[in-house]
């Protein structure tokens, strides 16, 4: 890969969120705390679902996949950022940058698809309750997750391969804490028309497509709930969707907020700070939303910690 002066690109410089030395310990401590909470919280959700037979249903199968993806999503960017903050070494290799970009696009798109799949699951559960277990059979659930993984992998592969065709100038400083695709494209010296077209198509496919599916599913859900005669029945039906609605609102709300704020301010550092919301904060809050608003998850966590406590007592004795 050659820039304008035909030298090989070996590394980029990640400028991070702030270049103020006094803020570096605070940023490191804050991001380390959020990363640990994200990993531990989502890991607890996975362990609770896998250890409780009552939660071996399509809804919680998709939730465990979402928790796994959230762990992987944050792990593509935060560990490298923490290392750079700790060592004051903000360089990332060209291969490392391309790899990070691939997995960031991959897990971000997979998050979108899984949220849409979970909305479809709630649509079937509320609008076709008598046929729920027939429609949402294990084969279909596995197929939906598999298709989500394949679509996300293909999209990120295409965007990464096209990125390899770019040549870069001598300015290789990225005003971000990870290799964000838009920032990389702006550093290129060669024509970026194809890259921009593929990038926008990916946003429409992985962002707009699942969002349309979610909105359609919930429009049908709302229509079905309105037809329930009793207020208690309406509340019970809506409560099964509450956690998912919170997560969808948080993910898409923060993503759109980042896009609109970056478009309004045109500041790279402002965009980097705003992107923390959907790259770190949203995956961190998801376990709290599902555990606090879901009685089944709370009961499963209590049983899980109860079993762990009993086993620990037996081992000590």
pLDDT tens for 67-93 read 999 999 999 999 999 988 877 778 899
H-only helix segments in the chain: 24-51, 58-75, 78-87, 94-127, 132-135, 138-163, 181-187, 193-203, 209-226, 231-265, 268-276, 282-292, 295-316
For residues 178-202, give the mean pLDDT: 85
| Confidence tier at 262 by pLDDT (50, 70, 90) | low
Q: 6 pLDDT exceeds 50? A: no
Give residue 115's pLDDT: 93
| Confidence tier at 4 by pLDDT (50, 70, 90) | very low
Q: Determine contact, residues 2/167, Cβ cutoff 8 Å.
A: yes
Instruction: List CB contacts of 27: < 8 A, sequence separation 6 or more.
Output: 16, 17, 18, 85
Residue 92's DSSP bridge partners are 12
Q: 140 pLDDT exceeds 90? A: yes
Q: 315 pLDDT exceeds 70? A: no
Residues 222 and 212: their CA atoms lie apart, in Å, by 15
Give residue 141's pLDDT: 95
For residues 298-314, give the mean pLDDT: 67
| Confidence tier at 42 by pLDDT (50, 70, 90) | very high
Give residue 5's pLDDT: 39
Instruction: List CB contacts of 153: < 8 A, sequence separation 6 or more.
Output: 106
- Helix 231-265 vs helix 209-226: angle between axes, to the nearest 10 degrees? 150
Give residue 2's pLDDT: 41
**pTM of the prediction?**
0.87
For residues 211-235, give the mean pLDDT: 86
Q: What is the DSSP string of 121-156?
A: HHHHHHHSGGGHHHHT-HHHHHHHHHHHHHHHHHHH
Instruction: List CB contacts of 69: < 8 A, sequence separation 6 or more.
Output: 107, 110, 111, 114
- Laid out side by side, the sheet with 173-174 consists of 91-93, 11-14, 173-174
Residues 294 and 240: their CA atoms lie apart, in Å, by 8
Give residue 8's pLDDT: 59
Name the fold adopted by 11-301.
Rhopdopsin 7-helix transmembrane proteins (1.20.1070)
Other CB atoms within a 10 A radius of the CB of residue 205 amount to: 14
Q: 272 pLDDT exceeds 50? A: yes
Q: Lowest-confidence range among 101-110, 188-197, 306-315?
A: 306-315
Question: Who has greater pLDDT, 1 or 193?
Answer: 193
């Amino acid at each position: 890969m050659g820039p304008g002066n035909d030298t090989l690109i070996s590394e980029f410089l990640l400028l991070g969120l702030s270049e103020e030395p006094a803020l570096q310990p605070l940023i490191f401590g804050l991001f380390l705390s959020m990363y640990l909470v994200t990993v531990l919280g989502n890991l607890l959700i996975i362990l609770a679902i896998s250890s409780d037979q009552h939660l071996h249903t399509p809804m919680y199968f998709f939730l465990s996949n979402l928790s796994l993806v959230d762990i992987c999503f944050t792990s593509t960017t935060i560990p490298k950022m923490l290392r750079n903050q700790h060592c004051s070494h903000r360089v990332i290799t060209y291969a490392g940058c391309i790899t990070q970009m691939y997995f960031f696009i991959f897990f971000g798109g997979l998050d979108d698809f899984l949220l849409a799949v979970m909305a479809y699951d709630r649509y079937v559960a509320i609008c076709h309750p008598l046929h729920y277990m027939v429609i949402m059979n294990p084969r279909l659930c596995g197929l939906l997750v598999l298709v989500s993984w394949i679509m996300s992998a293909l999209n990120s592969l295409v965007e990464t391969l096209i990125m390899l065709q770019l040549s870069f100038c001598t300015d290789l400083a990225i005003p971000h804490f990870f290799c964000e695709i838009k920032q990389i494209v702006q550093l290129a010296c060669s024509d970026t028309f194809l890259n921009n077209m593929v990038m926008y198509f990916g946003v429409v496919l992985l962002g707009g497509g699942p969002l349309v599916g979610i909105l359609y599913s919930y429009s049908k859900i709302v229509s079905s709930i309105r037809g329930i005669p009793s207020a208690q029945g309406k509340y019970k039906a809506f409560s099964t969707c509450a956690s998912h609605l919170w997560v969808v609102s948080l993910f898409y709300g923060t993503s759109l907020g980042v896009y609109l704020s970056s478009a309004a301010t045109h500041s790279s550092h402002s965009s980097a700070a705003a992107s923390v919301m959907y790259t770190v904060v949203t995956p961190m809050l998801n376990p709290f939303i599902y555990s606090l608003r879901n009685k089944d998850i709370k009961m499963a966590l209590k049983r899980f910690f109860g079993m762990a406590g009993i086993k620990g007592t037996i081992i000590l004795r």
